[in-house]
Amino acid sequence: MLQKRIDDQPSISRENIREAEGIFLQHLRRVGLKQTGQRSTILRTFLETREHLSTDELHRLVKKKDPHIGFTTVYRTLKLFGDCGLASEVAFHDGIARYEHQYNRRSHHHMVCTGCGASVEFFSPEIGEVEKDIGRKHHYLTTRHTFQIYGLCEDCRKKRDGRRIV
């Protein structure tokens, strides 16, 4: 199954949560929306999680804290997190959109097994440099990128090669 995220820090600090809440509040004001208790609960739950979460998975976690929060509220709030840079969507081989928080994290990338769906996060400063170089070449000020590599993990290759008749 999907692996947990790797992070520079084992958990997010209270101070970082407050800072992320400030970013979210500024974004809500910019787009003419109000901060609500439900949105705060969703944000805190999301930031405290170390996993790549689907909307369904986040909804289940949030309902443990507030059973009145609906799926649509979680879905719309996740989109708002993405709009203000607190979250990014990652697509693994299972076709389910998943989200991970981006607040105070260094840029990382994913390698995804197309056999079993396992994922590995990795860091590569060279990819960030490629992004900047391409941006300069095309006169863009780049702000972010996504990079995923798809292939077969060692276990899936062994299973596949074991069945193959040569």
| Residue range 127-139, pLDDT digits in tens | 888 989 999 999 9
Residues 39 and 76 in one domain: yes
Question: Which amino acid belongs to residue 84?
Answer: C
Residues 75 and 112 in one domain: no
Residues 68 and 94 in one domain: yes
Phi and psi torsions of 58, nearest 5°: -65, -40
Give the strand pairing for 87-91 and 97-101: antiparallel
Range of the domain at 142: 106-166
Residues 75 and 126 in one domain: no
Give the strand pairing for 97-101 and 109-113: unpaired
Give the model confidence (pLDDT) of 68-118 as tens digits.
999 999 999 999 999 998 888 877 767 778 888 776 666 777 787 888 877
- Domain stop point among 85, 105, 125: 105
Distance CA 106, CA 36 (A): 29
- State how many domains the chain has: 2
Distance CA 57, CA 52 (A): 9
